[in-house]
Structure 1
């Protein structure tokens, strides 16, 4: 990559950073991505997307179509960095590095466009909206973004890895994410006369402690899972037993069998405790995101591309965070890597930042990965 192109991409990243847009509000971001692609005569596919862009470079030779994906949305966070290009919109920030992802994959597209006469196949670029609310990938697939695509590749920046380091791991890299709501119903009454009531606070309290036995005693020792209850609401004064208590929380897993088993285990336990105390329960489960499950057949070429380019390849350490790249992997084989950016803070922190030299690494890596996959 030339210094001129790198400086151009850095400028584009800073523009996006100054002008963050939340999920499904990325109209300006979308318009600029289209303009930047069109400036290099890269074809934009006419998909019916309100926000987000899908583009494609067709090689001179016949071959498969692969995809490279970036997310483009920001977060509802007030930026606290001191960079001169900090967010101009109060309460919105690129605190997860999607501005970096966008220009890096744009850079890969520009590099590949310059060598399309050597490509054996096509490369599709998915600049996806609404990753932060786990809806963008679903809509992109519904609109045809994966039509004819044989495999897909993507990345997430990793602030705790140095620039030039790429984390690679087949299997589960980012956890499945599921949500639940539980309402324990009792019978309200006087706090001093509890025998005439059915106390849902007691029922809920038993459940909060007992539910952890599902992880400790009902799942396989080698399964990775966590159940976190993050919200409890019940009652509104000191001397009245309420009618109900509501709980909310999340479950994170890496193994499909564990993910499939946990909802019934949680529901059965809730019903048992509620009925044992004379109450009842309403249990709502939301299948939010599957696990980012990297295809083992792609690991060798992903690793070799990085190593041959002189990058430091390390084993990717799994994260219990979620990523809707996983949704694409339920349709076609895919591989998601960690890209080192040497940042001062973790994702979603108001002082999140990164080393912009990582743009060059990411752009060149994905351009070469596409060439290698299509030549295989």
Structure 2
């Protein structure tokens, strides 16, 4: 199942892998602004002789045609950065862009997929089928996968595989369990309208700040009292804006938050309950409520066959590396690809206390243990080889 040429190619190109990741890290670009990153990937693929096409506004889709007929497997690597100020100022490859950094590891994903492509090229004639390479923009705003699918990324694909570097797992460990992996991620906005007036005369007003406060305190019971405890869900209020001045009763209040869960039934229920709670809390105070609920990414549910194949490949390639990471309530738009073909999404550990790489994703001090890069790159390539030969 493990191709020795792939393993040798990854090791042979390990220095280039690190250099690519560091270059990408030092030049972070926000969602749908990844112009330099897209250009770098296009140039790299062109030099390798791999046919590709640039997607709009950014991103790349490429295909390695095997020497034998067969299925098509897709490998996805995302490439956008975050609007986060990097705090690792002593790094030789620190972000050159103020207020922007690769705080989630997408620089690693892109570099790993580039080197995986180079390794697969060495066994191109042996490949029974095709390998689709998806270099995806805008994962952080949950729009990139949709854009890539619309532009043909999954056309003719039989199986799809993705990787996420994970700082909460020890370096080299691999987790890919069948079933839920990442939660769905929805957004909600609730606008309460009361009646403003002078702060000294609240009896003449309907205080939207009080209505909003009551809603925030009560809405948590949607999860704690209306959902089966065996169905995980998170409802978080992250932003409240109310009022205009210290001595003016607030006429309007706006609340924004997010909902995370793993199944459609729970998702539907929370959406309905948000509407119910908002309307009734507003009615108690004589105010009105408007609820806007936006469905974001769907839950990432790993296909059993694909996940077990990842485990088998990882064990044969790296030994005792399988790690059982629990599902996260974080969101991932990789789910868009799984609407079109079965697949799985693996986590590759990059946490190392000695190298200070255990910081949470999206933190200004986030960094990765670069020893994990070769693990990820080889897992990409070996999985493609194994799947096409199944």
Determine if the TM-score, normalized by the shorter chain, exceeds 0.5. Answer: yes
Within-5 A mapping of 1:43-62: 43-44=51-52, 46=53, 48-62=55-69
CA–CA separation in structure 2 for the residues paired with 1:50 and 1:204? 39
Counterparts of residues 190-229 of structure 1 (less than 5 Å):
190-229=198-237
TM norm structure 2: 0.92
Aligned to 1:170: 178
Tell me, in whole angstroms, the C-alpha distance in 1 between the residues paired with 2:210 and 2:358: 44
- Give 1:329's aligned residue: 338
Given that residues 188 and 241 in structure 1 are in contact (C-alpha distance below 8 angstroms), is that contact kept between their aligned partners in structure 2?
Answer: yes
Match of 1:189 among 197, 206, 213: 197
- The 8 Å contact of residues 185 and 244 in structure 1, kept in 2 or not, is answered as yes
2:373 to 344, 353, 359: 359
Q: Indicate which of 37, 45, 49 corresponds to 2:45.
A: 37
Name 1:315's counterpart in structure 2: 324
Give the corresponding residue for 1:347: 361
When the two chains are superposed, the root-mean-square deviation of aligned CA atoms in Å is: 1.5
Q: How far apart, CA to CA, are the structure 2 residues paired with 1:22 and 1:102? A: 14
Distance 2:298 2:186 in 1: 8
SS in 1 for 2:322: strand
Partner Cα separation in structure 1 for residue 339 and residue 139 of structure 2:
16
- SS in structure 2 of the partner of residue 258 of structure 1: helix
How far does residue 202 in structure 1 lie from its aligned partner after superposition?
A: 2.2
What count of residue pairs does the alignment treat as equivalent? 375
Distance 2:389 2:12 in 1: 29
Output the TM-score relative to the length of structure 1. 0.96
1:145 maps to 2:153: yes
Matches within 5 A, 1:63-212: 63-81=70-88, 82-212=90-220
Structure 1 residue runs without a partner (length 5+): none
Structure 2 unaligned blocks of 5 or more: 1-7, 352-356
For the pair 1:8 / 2:23, whether they are aligned, the reply is no
1:48 deviation in Å?
4.0
Which deviates the most, 99-108 or 310-319? 310-319
CA contact (8 A) 1:151 1:333 kept: yes
Give the CA deviation at 1:26: 0.9
2:354 is matched with which residue? none
Using the TM superposition, give the Cα deviation of residue 229 of structure 1 relative to its aligned residue in structure 2, in angstroms: 1.0
Does the CA-based 8 Å contact 1:53-1:128 persist in structure 2?
yes
Q: Which stretch has the larger CA shift, 141-150 or 337-346?
A: 337-346
Alpha-carbon separation, structure 2, partners of 1:313 and 1:155: 14
- In structure 1, C-alpha distance between the alignment counterparts of 2:373 and 2:72, rounded to whole Å: 24
Query: Deviation at 1:192?
Result: 3.6
How many angstroms apart in 2 are the aligned matches of 1:365 and 1:177?
Answer: 27
> In structure 2, the residue corresponding to 1:159 is in which secondary structure?
strand
What is the alpha-carbon distance in structure 2 between the residues aligned to residue 365 and residue 236 of structure 1? 54
